[in-house]
Structure 1
């Protein structure tokens, strides 16, 4: 939509992983080195965790794209698996036909394959993305495969990537955790890194003009996104669409207020857990006279405003028709803390 308008030849802020767009922050560089070492080390086993959208999949794509040398990569990205599905998927990724779908038969088939690859001097690397979805039994199977030995050491190198709960799932299996050489967690980008990240993606997309996102705007983007690259992309993309729709060549930081809910869906709930807890304490406390709070205070304020509005209307009518006597009004009653309605004139 806005590529030509801003002089771009590629979309700068897609939310799908694109490894040629990856911004290598210090922590992303460390994770990349750890993953590469797991591939080329005979005892390679690395667990990379991070929040949703922190760049794990993009980093894996970059690692795979830069692979060189004699090795066999088995990359699995679908992890909602049943017990024996993992073995079947590994065999298919290895280019083998499943001869017998029983779990024991598939295990022997994988064992034969790993022995053949070890004899040929070809390392086998298993990478599993979204590994937090693996069952405990799946993780036990990964431990068993990683523990298979050949003449040169372990027959299979492993890289697991997933959301923060993956690390705890691995630690809950001590035999598996002991085999992991490195645990690494990807945090959100810092404020300075967020600014560099935005500029880098615009540069790769072909933007060579003035700085689109000023310091205040970047600061607000960082605050809302917590430095998570995917959320940064969503916010930047939304703001550029706003600028395009209004035919202006600059980014207005005020657009964030109008598009935040549409993009992040994080409208604040009127009743937070803390408020609920306070209400529980109020209900359990001894009865005592206190000022109306919450909904009752809102109702009282609304009634007060209605009474004042009616009084103003009554006064205007009295000034318009001074010769008429006020008719007796029906009394509806008002709360104790609401001022009674004025008859309109003395």
Structure 2
């Protein structure tokens, strides 16, 4: 019988689906969640909520945090309800059983025993944690209310219980309706998917753990395909890698390439009944729930309202307080929203045209700039710094007379000169912030020294300024302006930029822009079959061949049942034009 770990000279199976703290991978999103949860438990917050898609690593994260608590000698007692589909009494019996209490008593006695147990633990300096997994299955309002009341239990003013909820995103709209409960949530985190770079690092990490002599078993193209097919979700990555390594051993291969990945993915798809796309429900572009979209709309509008306050600052006054107290705290949540992509990105790309474009434009540029930075492999810290600078890149426009930047038609030479002063005005306002001020000053500088205000040399220009500069052009083309009514399609905008601006921006910036925005999610296209389709996932390795959902026939009649096609796999189709 073939044991593939022996074929590859591993000491164990590298990609195990069953979660354990030992298989934890420290991605940016998991590490931030880990730090937040540890602090919340240490300070005895009443309720902690962690949401994420199936397979995003919620259970593995929790097992890692348990290890952290033990390592830091923080005494804790656990109650666990892994299947909360029953009524409140059944959930309490599961908690009691996991805490070693006899459960053959009536409900009132059991609750009393649980309360006494928790208080005794607190007296001994022990933190009580009740973990409820898959909490999205709880639909009964009464259960949520009774769970809320449990968090009232205390001893000498100290909470006796930390309620730790793990669930899928569907729980968010449920809790929005439970205001009393949601107000007690002391820590909340949405666990995101891995990036392309993190997917590669994740695979290498698990190969190292089994002492693999070759950390490049998976070729670069196979890693990219694994990322596409898994949606960056650890459980899916494990399934694909495990099956691909077995196939490689059976076929006597030295490496795992993209064809092998597609082969094992197709086998799994045939079992699950899927045809064109493997694990489609897990994809970032297709999994945005209404709750996620609502949340992203909220962060978008919150940023617009916050940025609006900058225009009430009188000329010469400092906006630093607003930046540090109101804008900067929102940025981590903004980054998470950009990473999950669909709601916020569609708002930025296809949103309605406002009467005054500038506020939405700044948020749009931040969304697009953050995506470009992700494509360039930026760290979490770099993305936060880039996003903050992008959000306020046009702050100097507040010192330009409004009648100039809202003027319909051509500007006079003196008006053009005044418009070109806005980076300087922004720099002066933000000077205490140093790096951000420099980025804002240079956002219109170009690699060939053709930019303004200083015609800076390319080696003196901050890379963030290039990203914000190209996102500024891109967003301006997507939306109307006082001097132009036309809205370019994303494809038209990218074509214009590549034609006109390719000598003015670094190739790395242009490449990331094209990868994400040639045909972004939501693009309306026509195929060579004359059928109409919508892009549902970009193909960053081959941007001309995204994944599309065909919705209308050649005569623009809507199909009763749409179908999904991966243009990279089905070569008989290609995009003829975009709208």
Aligning the two structures, in what range does the TM-score lie when normalised by the shorter sequence?
0.7 to 0.9
Q: Which residue of structure 1 lines up, in the alignment, with residue 266 of structure 2?
A: 261
Question: In 2, distance between residues paired with 1:18 and 1:282?
Answer: 50
Question: In 1, distance between residues paired with 2:62 and 2:119?
Answer: 26
Q: Which residue of structure 2 lines up, in the alignment, with residue 56 of structure 1?
A: 58
Q: Secondary structure at the residue paired with 1:183?
A: strand
Q: Which residue of structure 1 lines up, in the alignment, with residue 218 of structure 2?
A: 213
Question: In 2, distance between residues paired with 1:185 and 1:177?
Answer: 15
Query: Are 2:179 and 1:174 aligned?
Result: yes
CA deviation after TM superposition for structure 1 residue 210, in Å? 5.0
Q: Which residue of structure 1 lines up, in the alignment, with residue 77 of structure 2?
A: 72
Query: Are 2:114 and 1:110 aligned?
Result: yes
Q: Secondary structure at the residue paired with 1:67?
A: helix
Query: Are 2:145 and 1:140 aligned?
Result: yes
Evaluate the alpha carbon distance shift between residue 175 and residue 251 of structure 1 in structure 2; reply closer, same or farther with a 3 A threshold. Answer: same
Q: Secondary structure at the residue paired with 1:66?
A: helix
Per-residue deviation, residues 223-259 of structure 1 (Å, max 9, x unmatched): 1111001111111112111211111221132123322
Per-residue deviation, residues 100-145 of structure 1 (Å, max 9, x unmatched): 223x333233223333333333221112222222343332222111
Preserved CA contact (<8 Å) 1:47 1:167: no
Preserved CA contact (<8 Å) 1:38 1:158: no
Matched length: 282
Evaluate the alpha carbon distance shift between residue 192 and residue 210 of structure 1 in structure 2; reply closer, same or farther with a 3 A threshold. Answer: closer
Preserved CA contact (<8 Å) 2:219 2:257: no
Q: Which residue of structure 2 lines up, in the alignment, with residue 186 of structure 1?
A: 191
Preserved CA contact (<8 Å) 2:52 2:58: yes
Report which of the two has the higher share of helix. 2
| Unmatched tracts of structure 1, length 5 or more | 284-293, 295-346
Question: In 2, distance between residues paired with 1:42 and 1:248?
Answer: 52
Structure with more contact order per residue of length (Cα contacts < 8 Å, sep ≥ 6):
1
Q: Which residue of structure 1 lines up, in the alignment, with residue 100 of structure 2?
A: 95
Evaluate the alpha carbon distance shift between residue 96 and residue 267 of structure 1 in structure 2; reply closer, same or farther with a 3 A threshold. Answer: same
Q: CA RMSD in A?
A: 2.7
Per-residue deviation, residues 173-193 of structure 1 (Å, max 9, x unmatched): 111100001211111100000
Question: In 2, distance between residues paired with 1:213 and 1:149?
Answer: 53
CA deviation after TM superposition for structure 1 residue 42, in Å? 2.8
CA deviation after TM superposition for structure 1 residue 12, in Å? 0.8
Which residue of 125, 130, 146 maps to 1:121? 125
Q: Which residue of structure 1 lines up, in the alignment, with residue 34 of structure 2?
A: 32
CA deviation after TM superposition for structure 1 residue 277, in Å? 7.0
CA deviation after TM superposition for structure 1 residue 160, in Å? 0.8
| Unmatched tracts of structure 2, length 5 or more | 278-532, 535-548, 563-579
CA deviation after TM superposition for structure 1 residue 147, in Å? 2.2
TM-score when normalising by structure 1 = 0.74
Q: Which residue of structure 1 lines up, in the alignment, with residue 323 of structure 2?
A: none
Question: In 2, distance between residues paired with 1:182 and 1:56?
Answer: 15
Evaluate the alpha carbon distance shift between residue 88 and residue 209 of structure 1 in structure 2; reply closer, same or farther with a 3 A threshold. Answer: same
